[in-house]
Amino acid sequence: MRRALAASLPRPALYLAAAALVLLLAAPFMVDRYTLSILILILYAAYLGQAWNVMMGFAGLLSIGHALYVGLGAYTAAALFVHFGIPPLLGLFPGIALAAAAGALIGWLGFRFRIAGVYFALLTIAFAEVARIGFDHIDWLGGSGGLFIPVAAEKRLDLLDLRGGIEMYYYLILALAAAALLLSAVLLRSRLGYYWLALREDEEAARSLGINLFRARIAAVLISAAMTALAGTFNAFYNSNLFPEHIFSIGSSIDIILAPIVGGLGTLMGPIVGAFILAPLGELLLSLTAALGLDLPGLELVIHGLLLVVIIRALPGGLWPWLKHRFGFAASASGGPS
């Protein structure tokens, strides 16, 4: 995996990433709990951005319903823990399997009946909305009142049950974000990754080369859904509560896609760069409106929308490609997006 990442990223970017990793590893010893919680939000957004990037950035499949996979992973692991005492590190596997099955169903319907582009995006939204309405009426899962996960009575470090202080959650999401980056690098340099790039750029040319487009696309959906479901398990136990109106909402799906679009769609570092801009911006806006005593619901979405419009107009490729050229990060010799 390290070789794949080294080949996919220019050397200056690797040095910068290594320095950033050292700072991130030392963060719990250098910052307060509030700042650490912001870093958790950033890394969570970066991880989800990488998961979505596999579908849209690599394979060109537009999904605006990824909250479905977050919710399935979250609710499955949480329900198994609350009702049966199954530890989340075991419960996450059924959640991943359920999310992958849902992704396979969506993909089969879309690709079997040649539903593409914005119509495929509408299909993903429809499934997420059906799940939101359905989970809202399942009393066993808390319904609209929410599913609450018992908090440990005493502070202890238990990775199996995901119990521990904020530092444990921080290092956990840091490990997940790093693993997602490495996995994305490996996928990009694999045969499957080249298939994705080929069908993203020119579907007819890819078909003429003998690439099985159906299998390649289904693989992208399955991998992306499984990665996203894993983030859902983290979300559930970090926040200790789940509400269908929030976890399955289209707003949550939009939050997932913003970081890679702003940072650079189809690049490895794009979701990370975008997350480090958008997550702190959201918290800054919340703090600013609270300090001024303003009640402006939706202001964060408006600001994010304006920022997205500006970046798309000024930097269509996103921030990371511009930063890469601006600071002399030469493209890797092996080619491929970085």
pLDDT attached to residue 10: 62
Report the distance separating Cα 5 and Cα 184, nearest Å.
8
**Burial letters 277-308, b for 16+ CB under 10 A, else e:** bbbeebbebeeeeeeeeeeeeeebeeebeeeb
Q: How confident is the model at residue 335 (pLDDT cuts 50, 70, 90)?
A: very low
Least trusted range by pLDDT, from 16-20, 236-240, 264-268 = 16-20
- CB neighbours of residue 136 within 10 Å: 16
Owner of token pair 């600071």: 327
Q: In sequence order, what are the beta bridge partners of 147?
A: 242
Sign of the CA dihedral with 274 first, then 277, 283, and 289 last: negative
pLDDT (tens digit per residue) in 96-130: 999 999 999 999 999 999 998 999 999 999 999 99
Sign of the CA dihedral with 249 first, then 270, 337, and 183 last: negative
The answer, yes or no, to whether residue 94 has pLDDT greater than 70, is yes
Report the distance separating Cα 86 and Cα 193, nearest Å.
36
Report the distance separating Cα 33 and Cα 35, nearest Å.
6
Position with higher pLDDT, 130 vs 15: 130
pLDDT attached to residue 333: 40
pLDDT attached to residue 6: 57
The residue among 250, 269, 256 whose CA lies nearest residue 317 is 269
Average of per-residue pLDDT values in the chain: 89
pLDDT attached to residue 329: 67
- Non-local (6+) Cβ contacts of 25 within 8 A are 174
Least trusted range by pLDDT, from 22-31, 161-170, 229-238 = 161-170
Report the distance separating Cα 15 and Cα 22, nearest Å.
11
Residue 226 tokens, joined:
């499984």
**Mean pLDDT, rounded, for 250-270:** 94
pLDDT attached to residue 234: 96
Least trusted range by pLDDT, from 117-121, 304-308, 329-333 = 329-333
3-class secondary structure, 1: coil
Q: Which pTM was predicted?
A: 0.92
156 torsion bin: left (phi>0), alpha (psi -120 to 50), beta (else):
beta
Residue 329 tokens, joined:
């990060």
**Mean pLDDT, rounded, for 68-84:** 97
pLDDT attached to residue 218: 97
Position with higher pLDDT, 205 vs 12: 205
